[in-house]
Homo-oligomer: A and B are copies of this chain.
Amino acid sequence: MEQPRTAREAATSLTERRKAATQMDIARAAAELFTEKGAEGTTTEEIAARAGVALRTFYRYFRSKQDAVGSLLSSGGDRWRALLARAGTDMGLARALESAAVDSLSGAGGVGEEEGLRWTRGLLRAAQEDPALRAVWYRVNQESEQELLPVITRLAGPGADPLETRLLAAAATDAIRVALETWALADTEADGNDSPAELVVRCLRELTGGLRLLASGPRV
């Protein structure tokens, strides 16, 4: 079912390409409508209509209307983790996290990431007043954290405390999340705004530096 019969088909038969395109059409349609009228304010039928498919087909691609934008929101994190999984264990965890993050944001592999960032910005702004959309963001981050765990475990070596590893995965995910939220909700286009890469680096360095707020004794 997954493997093409002849090697020549590579990974993209016509059918497969059409399916991928349809999925992307639906995701974009959903993102457009969500940013325009909020997730609660748009019906699944509207998304399906704008994507040019039947309602029933929509539910063959996504389990709910919220799921439709999940892939757009998680693509950046997916790329980050993929880079991290390829990193060597010889440069230290902190450096690996940071360089993978920077690489995943600097459009190294193509132009796809810029589009993902644009959608993320719009969706996070819409999520500001849309509980259903926030729930998607929560889920995406939670899943990202969970998939980050084995990657970090490998980089930390076999002797690391599981609880410590788990907390690190959570904190690292938070750094990315807080950076993206701060960027997405910053005053629109005003000067002095940091790029997502700058913010991500700042957040990760806070962790690397050991959350200095905690280290300070009684009073500053």
Contact = CB atoms under 8 A, between A and B. Distances in A.
A212 B139 contact: no
Interface in A69-93: 89-93
Contact of A163 (B131, B157, B202, B219): B202
Contacts of A217: 92
Given A139-B138, A168-B211, A211-B210, A218 B163 contact: no
A174 B178 contact: no
Contacts of A13: none
Contacts of A97: 214
Interface in A191-220: 199, 202-203, 206-208, 210-220
Contact of A206 (B94, B167, B218): B167
Protomer copies: 2
Given A138-B135, A156-B213, A171-B174, A219 B90 contact: yes
Given A138-B138, A171-B171, A174-B167, A214 B206 contact: no
Interface in A129-187: 131, 134-135, 138-139, 142, 156-157, 159-160, 163-168, 170-171, 174-175, 177-178, 182
A220 B163 contact: no
A163 B178 contact: yes
A171 B170 CA distance: 7
B174 A219 contact: no
Nearest to A90: B218
Query: Which 10 pairs of residues, A with B, have the shortest CB-CB distance?
Result: A210-B210, A138-B138, A170-B174, A94-B214, A92-B218, A171-B171, A208-B214, A92-B217, A167-B206, A168-B213
Given A163-B199, A167-B175, 16 more contacts: A92-B216, A93-B214, A134-B139, A134-B142, A135-B138, A135-B139, A138-B139, A138-B142, A156-B213, A159-B220, A164-B212, A167-B211, A170-B174, A207-B211, A210-B210, A210-B215
